[in-house]
Chain A
Amino acid sequence: MSTTNERLHWSFLRVRVIAGNTFREAVRMKLFLAMTILAIGTLASSFLFQEFNFGSSELKFIADFGFGGMTVFGSALAVIVTAQLFYGEIEHRTALTLLAKPIYRSEFVLGKFLGAWATVACFLGMVTICLVFALWGRETSIMAEYPDQFESGRSVHYVAVIGFSAIQALRIGILCSIVVLFSTYASSSLFAMVMGVLIWIVGQLQHIATEAWTAGDSWLLKGVYAVASFALPNFHLFDVGDQLALGENLPGAIYGKLGLYALLYVSFYLAVAGASFNRREL
């Protein structure tokens, strides 16, 4: 028996263990499989419309379907899976055994976030691979059919397609951190999900608040809009599909700026989530 008391140090190893287990739980959920099949099904359905489009416009149509599937199903997966994976531990009382181990609650919060984010990133990765294959296959057949339209080479910028997926991963990372925050003090997983969806909608429209903040006359309204603009992320910034769809790529600086933007918001929400969860009684 040891007689001296050891001091517990904050450990990224424990965060990794919790994240790994969270990811394992998520990929064993039927929801993950269902969402992936739905997104790939949506992408496949774009081929049904190929007779209405010719040449590069059809490829853009396929790309838009893929981007839409990634964004919509990815966001839905982020909200549902994060709430279930985090609040589920409290609801099913598995958190009692887990948090009775020598771990810090902030490790639990970060581990759960990373596990949920990795799950959605995995989803985005699979849809991206399918989208790239779909575009490549269709472009190859169109090139054979209309070689004169592709004299300068392929029209789809495949690195840009992967870039879009990476940018959506950043957007969804912010959304996951918001759902984690609400899960830390929610009394049901439904509450966390509803709040996640609400913030997602508000975040999509946040640029309107920013415009009102700069254009309005009332100091009170300006103040409210200013707080809302800083406290809530502007998800509209991540809508880069039109710029990226075909033949163009974004400057590297945009990736860097969006990455930093996402990092700041994720850090802020997770810090508040950690403080909130520390106060929670189980």
Chain B
Amino acid sequence: MTPAIAIKDLIKDFRIPGSDARLRAVDGLNLTIEREAIYGLLGPNGSGKSTTIKVLLGLLKASAGNCELFGTSSENASARIRVGYLPEAPYFQRFLTGRELLEYFGCLSGLKRAGANDRIDELLERVGLEDAGDRRVGSYSKGMLQRIGLAQALIADPDLLILDEPTAGVDPIGAADIASLITGLKAEGKTVLLCSHLLSQVEAICDRVAIMSRGRLLCEGTVASLTENTGKDSIRVDGLSKDGREAVETLANEQGGTVSAPSRSLEDLFLELARNTEDPL
């Protein structure tokens, strides 16, 4: 079976205005993303992630190399039939309501008029905007823009979703909801290419991860293989008695180790507190 995305020796140079010099944004990238997986594309700002995505979507032309979506060259508009895209910092037609925006993108994506309203209602509910569907997009908060952006990406039920920073500007509860939605998409048999700076989220939901820097691929593999830390072990024991803890501490000290209380991240604490005090969105 052809992979969802195949990138071969991709190079993308940008001409610097006013000079003959060129800036290399992507430098010989090779990447294969199999179907029905969540793939994380990580890297600092300017590492070439968004440029790679734009080449995949035909918004930019490759300087060298080629990209294929489900075996079709990304230069061909047909390659985008099965793709949904959420751009980084999504800007949408502010004069449309959320519902009109989904209708518009639905029509462009080949959504049949019959059943379109049901699909729009379903998506608005799925992204938590059922009460804001008739409001103009211009009045939406940043988090709501991300949600309507996700809905428009899903409108034609694509097999591949390319999500560029889907949780940017979204509060931790919203980010957790989006993570849950992405996990659900994988369960539906979809492939997700995810660019995010929320490393904890990427670690939690991605099957494989690639890390880019300065246009080059630094490493690629499963999350487990990349985060494996050989030479250190962690043992978790709940409900330990005082004597039991002393015995474990003694044994750990003899072996050159330590015993300490497990820590939790600030994000975990915020989520826990916020979920206990607010209704889910």
Interface residues of chain A, those whose CB is within 8 Å of chain B, are: 1-3, 5-8, 13-14, 17-18, 21, 24-25, 28, 92-94, 96-104, 281-282
Q: For the side of the interface on B, what is the size category?
A: 35 or more
A-B pairs, 9 with minimum CB distance: A8-B78, A100-B85, A102-B80, A17-B107, A100-B57, A102-B81, A93-B91, A282-B59, A101-B108
Secondary structure at the A interface, as helix, strand, loop or mixed, is loop
Residues of A within 8 A of B54 (CB): 96, 282
Output the nearest chain A residue to B190 by Cβ-Cβ distance.
Answer: A1
Is B110 a contact of A97 with CB atoms below 8 Å? no
Of B69-77, B123-131, B219-227, the segment with at least 4 beta carbons within 8 Å of chain A is B69-77
Is B77 a contact of A102 with CB atoms below 8 Å? yes
- Pairs A–B under 8 Å by Cβ, sample size 6: A6-B78, A100-B83, A100-B85, A100-B87, A102-B83, A282-B59
Contact status of A102 and B78, CB under 8 A, knowing A25-B93, A97-B87, A282-B59 = yes
| Whole-angstrom CA separation of A92 from B81 in the bound complex | 24
Is A101 a contact of B72 with CB atoms below 8 Å? no
| Whole-angstrom CA separation of A231 from B87 in the bound complex | 39
Is B61 a contact of A18 with CB atoms below 8 Å? no
Is A98 a contact of B108 with CB atoms below 8 Å? yes
Cβ of B28 within 8 Å of any chain A Cβ, yes or no, is no
Is B70 a contact of A5 with CB atoms below 8 Å? yes
Is A101 a contact of B95 with CB atoms below 8 Å? no
| Whole-angstrom CA separation of A24 from B93 in the bound complex | 11
Is B91 a contact of A94 with CB atoms below 8 Å? yes
Interface residues of chain B, those whose CB is within 8 Å of chain A, are: 1, 35-36, 54, 57-61, 70-72, 76-78, 80-83, 85, 87, 89-93, 95-96, 104-105, 107-110, 149, 152, 159, 189-190
| Whole-angstrom CA separation of A281 from B13 in the bound complex | 12
Is B77 a contact of A24 with CB atoms below 8 Å? no
Output the nearest chain B residue to A89 by Cβ-Cβ distance.
Answer: B93
Output the nearest chain B residue to A98 by Cβ-Cβ distance.
Answer: B108
Contact status of A6 and B91, CB under 8 A, knowing A100-B59, A281-B61, A282-B54 = no
Is A2 a contact of B91 with CB atoms below 8 Å? no
Residues of A within 8 A of B59 (CB): 96, 99-100, 281-282
Residues of A within 8 A of B107 (CB): 13-14, 17
Output the nearest chain A residue to B188 by Cβ-Cβ distance.
Answer: A1
Contact status of A21 and B80, CB under 8 A, knowing A5-B72, A97-B105, A100-B85 = no
Residues of B within 8 A of A281 (CB): 59-61
Contact status of A17 and B104, CB under 8 A, knowing A1-B189, A99-B59, A282-B60 = yes
CB distance from A256 to the nearest CB of B (A): 35
CB distance from B231 to the nearest CB of A (A): 42
Residues of B within 8 A of A99 (CB): 57-59
Residues of A within 8 A of B92 (CB): 94, 97
Residues of A within 8 A of B82 (CB): 2, 6
